[in-house]
Amino acid sequence: MASAIHTAIIPLLLYFAQICWCNQPSSTIKINYREKEKQVLDQILGPSSYDARIRPSGVNQTDGPAVVRVNIFVRSISKIDDVTMEYSVQLTFREQWLDERLKFNDFGGKIKYLTLTEANRVWMPDLFFSNEKEGRFHNIIMPNVYIRIFPYGSVLYSIRISLTLSCPMNLKLYPLDRQVCSLRMASYGWTTDDLVFLWKEGDPVQVVKNLHLPRFTLEKFLTDYCNSKTNTGEYSCLKVDLLFKREFSYYLIQIYIPCCMLVIVSWVSFWLDQSAVSARVSLGVTTLLTMATQTSGIDASLPPVSYTKAIDVWTGVCLTFVFGALLEFALVNYASRSDMHRDQMQKQRRQCELEHAASLEAAADLLQDGGTNFPMKPLVRSGDQTLEKMRQCKVHMQQPHRPNCCRSWLSKFPTRSKRIDVISRITFPLVFALFNLTYWSTYLFRDESDGE
């Protein structure tokens, strides 16, 4: 009896439980929206409803060109190479366009967007970087790329890439120059009748805040359009110009100050004695070779251009001053030997005059001892009177000398070699200071457009 009652109650309980479950509100039923995303993707990207080979329609489903808005985020700029005239940049590149074929039901806002990682599933703009030399994608740990499809048909494509781009430079003002490096993006196959690129409104280019550049500073950047016309039509193009200013402190420490020190060291030879030949020659040759090595090292870090750079003017003049100091010692050595030769000739002339005067006196004494009146005495007296008159005439003909401070100061140094050293001690620093004044006033306050 009890078993029969038990078997009759169990079906009733199951029946009531089923009724209660069916009467529950639909909001408490859990829906797997990830499964819904799969169903939506299969629906909108099915072969019967979507073809990635066909471009989207224009604005408001017209037959006009598809509009693609672009923005970039500069993550880092690793190097700016003067020799190869290129720069390397890592950026996040984004494109956004409207493809109304991809509209879908968002289930009351539950599906904000659909995410894809395969770019070949949807139509993509044929954009390329026209001044690119090398480029690579980032695939660690997963490919750094995604495509988001929004309910109203908008498509967002984002990818992280590293590029090495060409940057033609004008180095006439190097290292006091500024360089403009461009990033150009253009359509490869679609003309402006089918595809138009536009910068995203608001803030199309963003740069990371803690951007660090070796030997450069990013001053500003400008966005512009650069559409190009060819035989096959007009193609849409975007560009961003990055204005870089070269950090001068590095070159001041590495180039300008060492060159100044070498030039000043070469002037030490002016204060050495002219007889210290080995010391002056060693100093001049050493500074000349060091300056030449410095110049060759600077030239090795720059491309061989046909025009003269600001650094070429500086190193050339410094090398000329060092070489001039070495030539100055050669002139001093020649003047010293000339002074010695002149002194020896004067001593020989004086000795000959003394010997001649002694022989004349001896002859006169012999004539007086002989007691004969020789008719040459009156002639000698008359000759003496004639010479005396000529000296008086010369004295009267000489003009009075005006006092000259330079000559009086140089007269303190009896030899020409000493005078050359003294003049060089003053002339070389003054000329070098004048060159510095001209150089810095010319290149520091020179307009950038003058160097183009």
> Which of 212, 246, 280 lies at the terminal end of a domain, its last residue?
246
335 with 437, same domain? yes
What residue numbers bound the domain in which 282 lies? 249-340+412-447
- The pair of three-digit structure tokens given for residue 139, joined into one six-digit string: 């695939």
Residue at 235 is within a domain:
yes
Cis, bond preceding 264 (omega within 30 deg of 0): no
Cis, bond preceding 56 (omega within 30 deg of 0): no
205 with 86, same domain? yes
- CB atoms closer than 10 angstroms to residue 288: 17
61 with 190, same domain? yes
pLDDT of residue 421: 82
240 with 306, same domain? no
236 with 260, same domain? no
Residue at 107 is within a domain:
yes
> Which of 246, 264, 289 lies at the terminal end of a domain, its last residue?
246
Residue at 402 is within a domain:
no
The whole-angstrom separation of Cα 15 and Cα 19 is: 6
283 with 298, same domain? yes
116 with 261, same domain? no
Helix and strand numbers, DSSP H then E, in the chain = 9, 14
325 with 221, same domain? no
The β-bridge relationship of strands 66-81 and 205-207 is parallel
pLDDT of residue 48: 82
pLDDT of residue 262: 94
Residue at 232 is within a domain:
yes
pLDDT of residue 185: 95
pLDDT of residue 2: 46
189 with 42, same domain? yes
165 with 266, same domain? no
Residue at 41 is within a domain:
yes
- CB atoms closer than 10 angstroms to residue 272: 15
The whole-angstrom separation of Cα 198 and Cα 227 is: 11
Residue at 355 is within a domain:
no
Average pLDDT along the chain, 452 residues, taken 10 residues at a time = 51 50 51 78 85 85 88 93 93 94 85 87 92 92 91 93 94 93 94 94 91 88 92 94 92 93 92 83 91 90 90 94 90 75 66 69 65 47 51 52 56 70 89 95 74 52
State how many domains the chain has. Answer: 2
> Which of 226, 246, 266 lies at the terminal end of a domain, its last residue?
246
234 with 309, same domain? no
228 with 287, same domain? no
pLDDT of residue 330: 86
Residues facing residue 154 across a β-bridge: 98
Helix, strand, coil % (nearest 5) of the chain?
50, 25, 30
Residue at 9 is within a domain:
no
Residue at 441 is within a domain:
yes
Q: What is the CATH number of the domain that holds 290?
A: 1.20.58.390
